[in-house]
Amino acid sequence: MPVAVEFDAVDFAYQHGHPVLQDVNLEIEAGQFVAVAGPNGGGKTTLLRLALGLERPTVGQVRLFGDPPERFRERAKLGYLPQRAQLGVQAPATVREVVAAGRAAVNPFGRLTVADRDAIDTAIERVGLAALVRRPLKRLSGGQQQRAFIAKALACEPKLLALDEPTAGVDVAAQEALAELLAGLNRELGVTILYVSHEFGAVEGVVERLMLVRERIVFDGPPGGLPSLWHDPSHMHV
């Protein structure tokens, strides 16, 4: 399988700051569903930002589908749900308007085409919000809002879907439903998914690979191979 994300001896530190990541080496094949977990401040969000080209390594190289991320030609095909994606929740935007904004990366200047509208409708249907398409986002539950943001990321028909703490602030049932939704998208679309969270219980049963990050990658393998110590949530926090 082609490699979607590759890190080669990567170090990263913010200017005049303590090292955030050290000697990170990894390959993520296209089509994999990978969870990236670790304590708060352990570097997992930074790893995601490096993969997307939002930060550049201090040392080493990052490649996205074979190219340095800043040179990747299909940036419109990167679906990104940043941490605490609450921007605009209190605005009167409807589900459809929010999702349509995600299509702007593909068609930034013109009116929506038939293909654009089909992609928007399909994304909304995939996350189970077709019945709520005209409802203002602020009137949705936390779990439904996150589904709308995922649909926004899906509207660009991404090759890579990157999610940073997508279940923050939602209840356990919504977390589990979201995990099943993502697993279905991975199976049906073959999209590469990077799922970043300080807790991984919701996706443990659906991801094929789990990476634990604490400045370095301290575990990389199937969730079933994880030492029992790491299943204690208190171990995941600084």
Q: Tens of pLDDT along 113-157? A: 899 999 999 999 999 999 999 999 889 888 898 899 999 999 989
Residue 123: what pLDDT?
94
Domain 1-74+161-168+186-221's class? alpha beta
Domain boundaries, the chain: 1-74+161-168+186-221, 83-158
Q: Tens of pLDDT along 50-100? A: 999 999 999 999 999 999 998 898 888 899 988 765 555 556 789 999 999
Residue 85: what pLDDT?
52
When comparing pLDDT for 126 and 107, which is higher?
Answer: 126
Q: Tens of pLDDT along 21-33? A: 999 999 999 999 9
Residue 109 has pLDDT above 80, yes or no: no
Residue 12: what pLDDT?
96
Tokens linked to 84: 């605490």
Local confidence band at 229 (pLDDT 50, 70, 90 cut-offs)? very low
pTM of the predicted model as reported, rounded to 2 decimal places = 0.87
